[in-house]
Structure 1
């Protein structure tokens, strides 16, 4: 008398779940790495746009003081501007509870001279890796 079995045994189901968990464990870090890279690119673009805004203001007014319309950042980074009559510095720091908190690139700093740095970056992170250039 043969047993006509349909469906999955518990062992087969556990093996399938283990394979799915293993694949998810491998794929998720790669996914989050790509997401963080996209967020870094987004803040680089925002800082560049803000620098252009400041330069246009300087061209019209001969100073960076009293510039209005400087962005406060986005959900992941907060931007602060240090303005003087002849130069500026923009600093984008990761928001405390945002996904980028603890990012190895740290903060992003863009000066009126064009200098780009990453205060607080991990030693293995290059400017090229963080700024995408």
Structure 2
């Protein structure tokens, strides 16, 4: 091209796009993993908050039955509560179509005894990785 030519050639643009695509391919999985870790921490905090709410209710009423104010979850998990007179079980299940539906931690389960489990978790996931504790 002559001296008066301004702009970029097609080759230069393709090289720049290839570099950007390569960098995005490396960065996105790390970003996605970090986002899922934050979402896990959010549901763990919500489950712990609900357990404390239930324990306060039990202290006042002597039973877990008829406890009100239990959260249904958030945009990524639905929480179901099984309330018995002397114990409870909270289960958080990823919502279909949410970012957490294929999370290797699976579901989050918390009982009145403090037992924390992840039904459906991938074998390589530890409780520490899922619950952050």
Do the structures match in fold with TM over 0.5?
yes
Matches within 5 A, 1:97-116: 97-116=97-116
* Unaligned ranges ≥5, structure 2: none
Following the alignment from structure 2 to structure 1, what is the Cα–Cα distance between the partners of residues 7 and 85?
76
Deviation at 1:3, TM superposition (A): 2.2
Q: Which residue of 1 aligns with 2:2?
A: 3
Following the alignment from structure 1 to structure 2, what is the Cα–Cα distance between the partners of residues 127 and 113?
16
Following the alignment from structure 2 to structure 1, what is the Cα–Cα distance between the partners of residues 22 and 61?
59
Q: CA RMSD in A?
A: 1.0
* Unaligned ranges ≥5, structure 1: none
SS of aligned partner of 1:130: helix
Q: Which residue of 2 aligns with 1:81?
A: 81
SS of aligned partner of 2:79: strand
Following the alignment from structure 1 to structure 2, what is the Cα–Cα distance between the partners of residues 48 and 72?
14
Following the alignment from structure 2 to structure 1, what is the Cα–Cα distance between the partners of residues 30 and 47?
26
Matches within 5 A, 1:1-133: 3-4=2-3, 5-133=5-133
Instruction: Give aligned pairs, total.
Output: 132
Q: Deviations over 1:67-111 (max 9, x none)?
A: 111100001000000111000010000001111001100000000
Question: Normalization by structure 1: what TM-score?
Answer: 0.97
Moved over 6 A (4+): none
